[in-house]
Amino acid sequence: MIQEATREYMYGKIHRCTVTQADLHYVGSITVDPLLLRAAGILPHTRVDVVNISNGARLSTYVIEGPEGSGVICLNGAAAHHFTRGDMAIIMGYEQVPVSQIPGRKSRAVHVDEANRILAIDEYTTPTLDELGKPENNRFAQSYPTRVHEAGDPTEAVNESFV
């Protein structure tokens, strides 16, 4: 019996979160607020990649949950050498998926503010190979506001930051 090929699929991420702690003397992992884990669909004890936007470091570790509603993002153990409080990061969860099940599969991006409070949750549907190149699938230079405010509020324009 021939087994279908699989691919690593990024199913959920916490985008541009702020590192709240780095604890060198804790057994390795990343501690994350369960509200953020739930929103991204990331389960405790599963592997994630963590990218440090501030310095370019990238590593794999596993997730443990911290206090709910705390906004905690704490790199533990050796990972603490690559992250400091205030760094911006992206936490990404992956799963092995049969190739035939990838088109139409949803990937979730959780956008947070500087205190790691959820601003928005976007879901993206993976196109088929034949759907590649269609304008509705193009996400090049897609941006989102990192502060919550009414659209077009001129008093917020100076504080608005786009990614």
Report pLDDT digits (tens) over 109-147.
Answer: 999 999 999 999 999 999 999 999 888 877 776 665 544
User: Mean pLDDT throughout 23-52?
Assistant: 95
Q: Is 26 a catalytic residue?
A: no
Q: Which CATH architecture has domain 6-129?
A: Beta Barrel (2.40)
Largest CA distance in the chain: 64
Q: Find the catalytic residue in 9, 11, 54, 62.
A: 62
**Banded model confidence at residue 149, pLDDT cuts 50, 70, 90:** very low
Query: What sign does the dihedral 153-145-29-65 (CA atoms) show?
Result: positive
**Residue given tokens 């928005």 in the structure block:** 120
Q: What is the pLDDT of residue 158?
A: 47
Task: Look up 29 and say whether it is catalytic.
Answer: yes
Q: How far apart are CA 28 and CA 103, in angstroms?
A: 35
Catalytic pick among 9, 11, 26, 29: 29
